[in-house]
Amino acid sequence: MIPQEMLRDIATKLLEKSRKGEVRWQHRPNDRFLVKFPKSAIDVQFVSPTADPDYVEITVKNDEGHRVGWWVVNDEEEDWPLAFGLFQEAHRYVSKWDVALTDLEKAVEAEGPIGVAQPPPVRIPF
């Protein structure tokens, strides 16, 4: 298994590249986010259990799909900002919430009516 300190370094560099928009994240089931490389992949997931601390799970798989690295960081740990930041950047890239936010901010700051007008219903005469 890849040592945790090496996963931390990789996560730090991946977060930096993600913030620059240089990582092509993909959405996976259960709000997991994946970035593929030629011979590996990194999967990031945020989990919020009812009775336990929230955590981010970072999994590395080799080109055969076998887990070769695994790092779980809960919200009470020192590395939480790094792990959760990585999840947030992956989510931003896939969902494009930042684009939606910019659109909303521009609209509410504009003068006059806002919102796309809904066309009148089509009436079919019989």
Its pTM stands at: 0.84
The confidence score (pLDDT) of residue 102 equals 95
Q: What is the pLDDT of residues 54-65, one digit of tens each?
A: 999 999 999 999
Which residue do the tokens 């740990």 mark?
Answer: 77
- 110 pLDDT more than 80: yes
User: What distance in Å separates the CA atoms of residue 31 and residue 37, rounded to the nearest whole number?
Assistant: 20
- 120 pLDDT more than 90: no
What CA–CA distances, in Å, run from 47 to 1, 39, 55, 97? 22, 27, 5, 20
User: What distance in Å separates the CA atoms of residue 70 and residue 57, rounded to the nearest whole number?
Assistant: 7
Spans of all domains in the chain: 4-107
Token pair recorded at residue 50: 């009812």
The confidence score (pLDDT) of residue 14 equals 97
Q: What is the pLDDT of residues 28-42, one digit of tens each?
A: 998 899 999 999 999
